[in-house]
Amino acid sequence: MLEPIERQSLSQAVYERLRDGIVSGELGSGTKLPSERQLSEALGVNRGAVREALKRLEQARLVQIRQGGAARILDYQAHAGLDLLSELLFAGGELDLRVARSVVEMRAHLGPEIARRCGERGGTAAADRLDAIVAGMRADPDLDARQAASLEFWDALVDGSGNVAYRLAYNSLRASYDGFRAALVQVLGDELKSVDGFQAVADAVRAGDAEAAAARAAELLARGAQGLSTLFEALETFPGGE
Amino acid sequence: MLEPIERQSLSQAVYERLRDGIVSGELGSGTKLPSERQLSEALGVNRGAVREALKRLEQARLVQIRQGGAARILDYQAHAGLDLLSELLFAGGELDLRVARSVVEMRAHLGPEIARRCGERGGTAAADRLDAIVAGMRADPDLDARQAASLEFWDALVDGSGNVAYRLAYNSLRASYDGFRAALVQVLGDELKSVDGFQAVADAVRAGDAEAAAARAAELLARGAQGLSTLFEALETFPGGE
DNA sequence: TGAGGTCGGGTGGTAAGACCACCTGGCCAC
DNA sequence: GTGGCCAGGTGGTCTTACCACCCGACCTCA
């Protein structure tokens, strides 16, 4: 209600239009895109806007551009990186359950590993930060606040893991999550309410017990996975029924 | 020697220049970028080239652009996605060992999980494909061919895992790897030579034994990790000694 | 007949200039 | 102190033009 009204630039619109065409298979991989001039005329926008969109598609490895020749569409499953995940999740204006399940599975696998490495390398600095966040959770039982704190918690864990790749992968996963934060507060209720679960992870990190940290993190994430799984089943039976 | 000569567009050069400035910390997060007009004048290029570069930086979540106000530089560690990994690995013209170690660690963790899911869901179709690749390995002991076959093998595994997120994450990791393929043929020799290791993974997938597939994959990757680890130590002692 | 060269048309790459939409800050009137 | 106004700067869009490059058709000549 009180969120900022989204405005969209033309190049953004062009980007999304072409991206949706590619990931939906409408523009098959290997086919050639119309020329920039043709696109700009067909879409009724300036050539510059088209170029900006094409550059972004190239960066996402959805197309390949060569001077003097037309842009070729690539097979996104074979080339695109994890940054595309959040866009894939909702491409075409509808939630893709197959992608959503993949995200949850990756979360369930990456999370414990991050906790493990944090337990291994985080030290007391990480433990202090985690404890402070958990203390804040106890102080405020509001679910929205819990969700924010939970994100902080994972942020701290990931920092403590000392692994840049995990950090970036976490960011990519979180970008997928952010689009549905409000919708998932209830679904992840079990996970968010279990302050003891967060505390157990923090304790393991403080003890420097990497395996325990991983195990406790896995237990914590399993609570949310339960809710997500039932949500997905419901969505499968009653599509669109958000 | 016979590789295509790389040409670089202006917008690409602008992108890399700004990206390096950001990830190196030279342009601290929170600071404001000069206006497009100032940048284009300072860099001696057209404003369009600057805009294309800025759009890409925004897509990589390195900057935030708002109409009417200057572009703000974001904290890339807090926002950038896994796609940045390959660029981070070599940003500033030198290999970043901390990033490299992170990549290897993620490989060691993600690989077995991919094998596990492939064993779980790949079925005979995946097993057939894997077996064919391993057969090809036996037929050609050349290391370069082995490396190509090894990539095909993982490609097939990842397809069999039925997880889009893993697929995209694998693509991101592979993009980091591709820049050093030639340099790593020797370093990964142990891994590439162990056809039996690949075969063991393929066998586990055929048997539908997910845990065995994960275990065999972990063993296989450990061989390469050994070589990589000693390489990194050497590079740490003699920097730049490629 | 086939190898090689020439050339025109189309493509992406770059440039310069202009105007619009929007934000910011300072000023002013109330 | 509030609200409105206004000017200057910013990103967003458009137009036009030219350059560098690639491709295919065509031609030439051994």
Q: What is the pLDDT of residues B111-153, one digit of tens each?
A: 999 999 999 999 999 999 999 999 999 999 899 999 999 999 9
Residue A1 placed within a domain: no
DSSP B75-87: -HHHH--GGGHHH
Q: Please, which pLDDT band fits residue B215 given cuts at 50, 70 and 90?
A: very high
Average pLDDT over residues A3-11: 76
End-of-domain residue from the set B80, B113, B134: B80
Judged against a pLDDT cut of 60, whether residue B240 lies above it is answered with: no
Query: d(Cα B101, Cα B179) in Å, to the nearest integer?
Result: 15
**Same domain membership, residue A93 and residue A28:** no
Are B225 and B112 in the same domain?
yes
Considering only residues 103-122 of chain B, list those whose CB is below 7 Å from strand D.
none
CB atoms within 10 A of CB B241: 7
| Chain D nucleotides covered by protein, CB below 7 Å | 9-17, 20-23
| Angle A176-A182-A186 from CA coordinates, rounded to 5° | 110
Q: Is B1 within the bounds of a domain?
A: no
* A17 interfacial to chain B (CB closer than 8 Å): no
For residue B242, the model assigns a pLDDT of 44
Q: Give Cβ neighbours of residue B159 (< 8 Å, ≥ 6 apart).
A: B126, B129, B167
Same domain, A150 and A60: no
Percentage of residues in chain B with pLDDT exceeding 70? 96
Domain holding A139: CATH number? 1.20.120.530
Read off the pLDDT band of B237 (50, 70, 90): confident
**DSSP per-residue codes, B142-177:** -HHHHHHHHHHHHHHHHHHHT-HHHHHHHHHHHHHH
Question: How many CB pairs lie under 8 A apart between chains A and B?
Answer: 124
Same domain, A144 and A206: yes
Under a CB-based contact definition with an 8 Å cutoff, are residues B119 and B208 in contact?
A: yes
Q: Using an 8 Å Cβ cutoff, are B46 and B40 in contact?
A: yes
Our measurement of the distance from residue B93's CA atom to the centroid of its chain's CA atoms, rounded to an integer in Å, reads 16
Name residue B120's amino acid.
E
How many angstroms away from the CA of B141 is the closest CA of chain A?
A: 26
Helix spans in chain A (H): 10-23, 36-43, 47-59, 76-79, 85-89, 97-121, 123-139, 143-161, 164-178, 181-187, 189-193, 195-207, 210-237
Residue B81 to residue A56, Cβ atoms within 8 A: no
**Between chains, do B165 and A102 touch, taking CB under 8 Å as contact?**
yes
**Pair (B24, B125) in one structural domain:** no
Q: In this complex, which of A51, A102, A171 lies closest to B79 when CB atoms are compared?
A: A171
Nucleotides of C under 7 A from a protein CB: 10-18, 21-24
Look at residue B238 in the predicted model and tell me its pLDDT. Answer: 74
pLDDT at residue B6 in the model: 67
- The domain tally of chain A equals 2
Residue with CA nearest C1' of nucleotide C9: A68
Q: Model confidence over A208-230: pLDDT tens digits?
A: 999 999 999 999 999 999 999 99
A70 touches strand C (CB under 7 A): yes
Whether residue A1 has pLDDT greater than 80? no
Is B85 within 8 Å of A56 when comparing Cβ atoms? Answer: no
B133 and B189 both lie in a single domain:
yes
Contact predicate B232/B97, CB 8 Å: yes
Domain coverage including residue B213: 88-237
Continuous segment of H or E residues that includes residue B72: strand B72-73
Amino acid residing at A139: A
Is there a contact between A198 and A137 (Cβ–Cβ < 8 Å)? Answer: yes
Which residues, numbered 181 to 200 in chain A, qualify as contacts with chain B under a Cβ-Cβ cut-off of 8 Å?
A: none
Residue B64 is inside which H or E element, if any? strand B63-64
Q: Count CB-CB contacts under 10 A for residue A186.
A: 11
Q: Which residues of A touch B60 (CB under 8 A)?
A: 59, 83
Inter-residue contact B32 to B70 (CB < 8 Å): yes
Decide if pLDDT at B7 tops 90.
no
User: Residue A3, class by beta-carbon neighbours within 10 Å (0-12 exposed, 13-18 middle, 19+ buried)?
Assistant: exposed
Beta carbon of A7 within 7 Å of strand C?
A: yes
Secondary structure (3-state) at A208: coil
Same domain, A223 and A145: yes
**SS3 label, residue B138:** helix
Distance B224 CA to D10 C1' (A): 52
CATH number of the structural domain spanning residue A50: 1.10.10.10
Residue of B nearest to A171 (CA): B81
Q: Considering A80, A112, A132, which residue would you say is the last residue of a domain?
A: A80
Residue B242 falls inside a structural domain: no
Q: Say yes or no for a CB contact (<8 Å) between A169 and B59.
A: no
Residue A24 lies in a domain: yes
In this predicted structure, the answer to whether residue A4 has a pLDDT above a threshold of 70 is no
Is the Cβ of A172 closer than 8 Å to some Cβ of chain B? Answer: yes
Q: Does residue A3 register a pLDDT over 70? A: no
Residue identified by tokens 């009653």 is: A238
CB contact under 8 A, A81 and B78: no
pLDDT in tens, A119-155: 999 999 999 999 999 999 999 989 999 999 999 999 9
Average pLDDT for A2-7: 64
- In this structure, are B34 and B129 located in the same domain? no
Give domain status of residue A68, yes or no.
yes
- Residues A40, A153 within the same domain: no
CA of B58 to C1' of C14 (A): 22
Q: Are residues B161 and B198 in the same domain?
A: yes
A68 touches strand D (CB under 7 A): yes
Give the SS3 label for residue B218. helix
A77 Cβ under 8 Å from any chain B Cβ: yes
The answer to the question of residue A109 being in a domain is yes
Tell if A195 CB is < 7 Å from nucleic strand C. no
Tokens linked to A56: 């972004």
pLDDT at B70: 83
Among A33, A49, A80, residue at a domain's last position: A80
Question: Is B5 contained in some domain?
Answer: no
B111 and B38 in a common domain: no
In a domain, A139, yes or no: yes
- Answer whether B81 sits within 8 Å of A78, measured CB to CB: no
- Picking from B180, B8, B178, B175, the residue whose alpha carbon sits closest to that of residue B83 is B175
Instruction: List the single protein residue with the shortest CA to C1' distance from D13.
Output: A46
Beta bridge partners of A72: A32, A64
Beta bridge partners of B52: none
In a shared domain, residues A64 and A168? no
